Structure 1
Amino acid sequence: MSQSTPPSGPPADANPYANTPAAPAGQPPVPPQGAPQPGFPVAPVAPAAPARDNFPLGLAASIGAGLVSAILYGLVIGLTKHEIGYAAVGVGFLVGIAAGRVGGRSQTLPVVSVVVSVAAVYLGQLIGEAMIGAKEIGVSFSTVFFDHFDVVQAAWKDEADPLTFVFFAVAAYVAFQSARKAGHGH
């Protein structure tokens, strides 16, 4: 009974150079077709992360950012007694970034962030008007804002000028661009 002896060394199928023809003397062996080339390590490639598209979460984030930025914008107006354009840009930026980062590539989030940012700028201007009015008549902000909201809106309407509406447009533009770029950055 004769048994064949197994070949010595590692199995041939694990070695890409095992079945290659011998190279001429003094030259390195030629690797088989599709084998990694010497000197060029092959790193594992991670699959691309799936694109997120979470509209409800992006909507909630944009509304939350809109409320926070409206309060901050209102505080700036109330303390300085002036509308500041950079603050309106900040409102649009915060709303757009929140919508895009959280909601991802949703096609409607940039449009939603425009609406939310315009509403946030308006609410911020109303908060500022209420703060200024409360200081002038010596009552609390909450009394003016919640109990006499119609008076606050009338004061806003009387003081609104073309620059007020420019702030709306700037915030809307910045929100749209920020949401679009943040959503596609993932």
Structure 2
Amino acid sequence: MTQPPPPQDNNNPYAQQQPQQPGYGYPQQQPPAPGQPYAPFPQQQGQAPMGFPPPPAARSGNTGLAILAAVVVALVLAGIYGAIMKATEHEIGYAAVAVGAVVGFTAGKIGGRNEALPFICAVISLVAVYLGQISGLAMAFADYANIGFFEALFDHFEIINEAWKSESDVLTYVFMAVGAIAAFGSSKKAAL
């Protein structure tokens, strides 16, 4: 003989529950695959394993706008670096590092994770440090010749560039390289 099903009580929430599956409410784990020491964590599609936050979404940005912003920032910083160089009458390595770091940070924040962007930032930083040193010499030449800055820079560029070449030493190129490295690194860090 079969027994009749127990009466259902609509006021009792436990009376309508389905019997528990083995595993106490957790999904059944699959046995480990051959060659794997542990069974995989049970997870739902698109979710991180138990208790772990999901990985951050890849941040994409506008590479063209990032390069444009890096060029604008580089030109402004080159002018500031030139003014500092003229005021102190010598090169300052930390200024070259700051130029590179700010150029890279700006491009990384706007451009996101683009593999080519750190390399582009390094080149822009090299040019910015060079232009900063040239503008510092052009400011000094303009004061010496009693002419305007832009006249000194554009009309007498050959003289200023020759002065830069003659005054350049190993530290000049080290500062430029360190600025490029700072641009590369800060671009990668800002893109995260």
TM-score normalised according to structure 2 size: 0.72
Once residues 56 and 126 of structure 2 are traced to their aligned partners in structure 1, the CA distance between those partners, rounded to angstroms, is 35
RMSD: 2.8
Match of 1:123 in 2: 131
Alignment of 1:62 onto 2:60: no
How far apart are residue 141 of structure 1 and its match?
1.3
From the superposition, tell whether residues 51 and 18 of structure 1 become closer, same or farther in structure 2 (CA, over 3 Å).
Answer: farther
Once residues 111 and 99 of structure 2 are traced to their aligned partners in structure 1, the CA distance between those partners, rounded to angstroms, is 18
1:34-88 deviation digits (Å, cap 9, x = unpaired): 7xxxxxxxxxx89944421432122112112211111111111111111101100
How far apart are residue 159 of structure 1 and its match?
1.0
Alignment of 1:82 onto 2:85: no
Q: Aligned to 1:114, what secondary structure does the other structure show?
A: helix
From the superposition, tell whether residues 134 and 104 of structure 1 become closer, same or farther in structure 2 (CA, over 3 Å).
Answer: same
| Equivalent of residue 109 in structure 1, options 110, 117, 124 | 117
Match of 1:177 in 2: 185
Q: Which runs of 5+ in 1 are unaligned?
A: 1-6, 22-30, 35-44
Once residues 61 and 87 of structure 1 are traced to their aligned partners in structure 2, the CA distance between those partners, rounded to angstroms, is 19
Q: Which runs of 5+ in 2 are unaligned?
A: 1-8, 28-52
> How many aligned residue pairs are there?
159
Match of 2:17 in 1: 19
Q: Aligned to 2:109, what secondary structure does the other structure show?
A: helix
1:81-124 deviation digits (Å, cap 9, x = unpaired): 11101100101001110111110000000000010000000000
> Is contact 1:57-1:102 (8 Å) kept?
yes
TM-score normalised according to structure 1 size: 0.74
